[in-house]
């Protein structure tokens, strides 16, 4: 999907990064690696990594919804929600607040609840796959 990110307009790239910043700015997600992750995502999208620090983060879900409503592409909206879910589940912990915020954001920008459910299931399957891979390496040692 790196190629897809590069096709986005500058405004779309900024909105994409704002969505990632929104998830990463949750108290339980704050860590030193976040800046590096955002820099990498910006670079992959062809966005100036130095400009990431200038992006004004959305403080509330409603603020992010307003930004995302400007996006006309349903593909991009779905991609952003998928990325937000992946980030939220990356540490194998997902708070009720994060889940509710993602559903609220997704449904308010025109993504059906069933599709959001599918994204959460997909992310959970990915985590199961990763854990199974670790088990294959570690078992019987």
Give the pTM: 0.87
**How high is the pLDDT of residue 130?**
86
What's the CATH number of domain 2-138, 1.10.3680, 3.30.450, 1.10.1660, 2.10.25? 1.10.3680
**How high is the pLDDT of residue 94?**
83
DSSP 111-139: --HHHHHHHHHHHHHHHHHHHHHHHHHHT
**How high is the pLDDT of residue 51?**
84
Q: Is 137 exposed, middle or buried (0-12, 13-18, 19+ CB in 10 A)?
A: exposed
Per-residue pLDDT of the chain (141 residues; tens, 9 = 90+): 668 888 899 899 999 999 999 988 876 666 777 778 888 888 888 888 888 888 888 889 999 999 999 999 999 999 999 999 998 888 777 888 889 999 999 999 999 999 999 999 999 998 889 889 999 999 988
Q: Where are the domains of the chain?
A: 2-138
For residue 60, give the 3-state DSSP assignment: coil
Per the CB < 8 A criterion, the answer to whether 69 and 14 are in contact is no
**How high is the pLDDT of residue 103?**
98
Per the CB < 8 A criterion, the answer to whether 91 and 29 are in contact is yes
């Amino acid at each position: 999907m790196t190629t897809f990110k590069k096709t986005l307009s500058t405004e779309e790239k900024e909105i994409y990064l704002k969505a990632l910043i929104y998830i990463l700015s949750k108290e339980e997600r704050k860590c030193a690696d976040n800046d590096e992750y955002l820099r990498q995502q910006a670079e992959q999208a062809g966005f100036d990594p130095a400009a990431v620090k200038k992006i004004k983060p959305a403080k509330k879900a409603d603020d992010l919804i307003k930004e995302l409503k400007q996006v006309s592409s349903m593909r991009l909206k779905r991609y952003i929600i998928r990325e937000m879910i992946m980030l939220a589940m990356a540490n194998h912990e997902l708070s009720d607040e994060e889940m509710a915020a993602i559903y609220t954001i997704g449904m308010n920008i025109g993504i059906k609840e069933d599709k959001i459910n599918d994204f959460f299931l997909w992310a959970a399957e990915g985590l199961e796959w990763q854990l199974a891979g670790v088990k294959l390496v570690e078992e019987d040692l």
